[in-house]
Amino acid sequence: MSQVFSGDLVGTGLRIGIVASRWNDFMVGKLVEGARDALVRHGVSDDAIDIAHVPGCFELPLVAKKMVEIGRYDAIVCLGAVIRGATPHFDYVAGEAARGIARVGLESGVPVAFGVLTCDSVEQAIERSGSKGGNKGVEAATAAIEMANLLRAIDAA
Ligand code: INI
């Protein structure tokens, strides 16, 4: 008999680590607020959410890896904003953040959500951190809950 696996959005009992960059704090602060609010509204206890602050998005993967290694979390939520400038710096920072975050998840088996804005302008970043483009922190937090529960469901089969 075939099985269909899915992760629900019930966060009760989950422990979540957030890693947030200090760069572009005006927007990233809103992503953190959105992520925390979404986690709590989905049933994650406030004291089961820890947060680590890193200098910039380039540093997100290393600290996500450290948070995975201590074994305390069911999922990690990485939050940041990279905004394109006049040089190729954007591509290096955004590319390494995305690659590193994906790698931590794949190598550890712990879900690591990618809540990083990669925008051409400050306006685009503001739109996606709680105004008309939604809030990438909320999206990443709910993805983290769903993935943690999906992996549990597959394990339990
Ligand atoms: N870090 C960001 O998180 N966002 C940016 O837009 C950004 N820009 O534009 O440079 C940025 N740079 C810093 C980088 O993430 C590292 O912290 C730095 O290179 C030290 O390793």
Amino acid residing at 121: S
Beta-ladder partners of 83: 119
Neighbours of 92 (CB within 10 A): 12
For ligand 1, the distance from its centroid to the CA atom of residue 6, given in whole angstroms, is 35
Pocket of ligand 1 (CB under 6 A): 21, 23-24, 55-59, 80-83, 85, 89-90, 93
Q: In angstroms, rounded to a whole number, what is the distance separating the alpha carbons of residues 115 and 79?
A: 5
* Sign of the C-alpha dihedral computed for residues 93, 94, 95 and 98 taken in this order: positive
pLDDT at 100: 98
Q: What average pLDDT does the segment 58-84 reach?
A: 98
Radius of gyration of the chain (CA): 15
Q: Which of the residues are catalytic?
A: 89
Give the residue-averaged pLDDT of 118-134.
Answer: 94
The minimum-distance atom of ligand 1 relative to the CA of 90 is 9
Give residue 4 CA to ligand 1 midpoint distance, Å: 41
Q: How far is the CA of 107 from the centre of ligand 1 (A)?
A: 24
- What's the confidence (pLDDT) of residue 1? 80
pLDDT tens by residue, 21-58: 999 999 999 999 999 999 999 999 999 999 999 999 99
Contact 60, 101 (CB under 8 A): yes
